[in-house]
Copies of this chain bind each other. A is one copy, B any other.
Amino acid sequence: MSKWYQQNQENYPGVIMSSRVRLARNLRFYPFPNRLTKENAIELIEKFKGKFNNVTIDDNIYTITNMDEVKSIDKVAMMEEHLVSPNFINSLLPSAIITSEDDSKSIMINEEDHLRIQAMTYGADLAKVFAEANKLDDYIEECFDYAYNNEFGYLTSCPTNVGTGLRASYMIHVPALEASGQLRIILDAIGKFGIIFRGMYGESSEPVGSVFQVSNQVTMGFSEQEIIDNLNSVTMQVVDQELKVREKLLREKPLEFEDSIYRSYGLLKYARVLSSKEAMTLLSDIKLGMEIGVLKTDSYNSINIFEIMTSIQPANLQKIENRALDVIERDIARAHYVRQMMPSIKKN
């Protein structure tokens, strides 16, 4: 089955590329993972196996996989797909992952908390992914007792997650804000609303391809709906600004704009060696170009930039090539893959 980000090419996402919700949960009667023994960790996974092996919840079939059965390359690929966190794949504690068929819904077991329930979707739809995560949360709550405190809410390993345990986030593509230098100003402003900006791969990742995650910083003192509404409101303002700057660029420097986008297309279509960073930058350019109507692709060609951006990451690329690749081999394979994926351009 296709992954969630490989579908939906008709609903081409614009500035907001994807939406994600995750809920941090812990079970009562077990120490938090940082104090959990290996035996307890295995016991906890076994309990979930009973509840999640080939179980259908809300029309989704779930399977559970022990992470020690997953090959290293596949673990990294899962991280590149935002299915698991970097911490999770590097953890020494026995851990497992529960996934829906398209990976859009998942639960990490024994990450920083016992459970990290996650739902993701293409484009802007936090309401949908919040509802999906809630259904998984409800199902688990029917089976197990959560660590919950009437005053604080859900208890978590890290105090920043206590309360709702909710982190809602959007992956946004803001090339015009970045190019115009306005992104810095916006970052400062939205910090005051408890919203944080991070690179595509979270906390310590360098931003590439003008793709960022925006998410709530605070999980306590507000209801889930308030957290989501706040993120929505701030993000929509950022989107609005991005669109305004795009219009301004297009109005004031149409030729430079068009030229730079077509040059990026030409390089993606013909380069023989592409680093991940350069490829992300060029893909960002043509995504922008297609959205503002400057890069005119043949109508029968569709292109899923989100899928390409994921597929050119090191582990996914090696999975596509079905062999281990060193850095230069990856740069060659990346250029080859990207060439194949480029849509045709209307003759002019």
Contact = CB atoms under 8 A, between A and B. Distances in A.
A255 B345 contact: no
Contact of A328 (B255, B258, B263, B269): B255
Given A255-B328, A255-B332, A332-B255, A269 B266 contact: yes
Interface string A239-280: 000000000000000011011001101111111110000000
Nearest to A254: B272
Nearest to A339: B348
Assembly stoichiometry (copies): 2
Interface string A307-348: 000000000000000000000100010010001000001001
A263 B270 contact: yes
Given A255-B328, A332-B255, A263 B271 contact: yes
A115 to B, nearest CB: 46
Nearest to A264: B270
A223 to B, nearest CB: 51
Contact of A255 (B259, B267, B272): B272
Contacts of A332: 255
Nearest to A257: B272
A333 to B, nearest CB: 12
A261 to B, nearest CB: 9
29 contacts: A255-B272, A255-B273, A255-B328, A255-B332, A256-B273, A258-B272, A259-B271, A259-B272, A259-B273, A259-B335, A262-B270, A262-B271, A263-B266, A263-B267, A263-B270, A263-B271, A263-B272, A265-B266, A265-B270, A266-B266, A266-B267, A266-B269, A266-B270, A266-B271, A267-B267, A269-B269, A269-B270, A270-B345, A339-B348
Interface of A: 255-256, 258-259, 262-263, 265-273, 328, 332, 335, 339, 345, 348
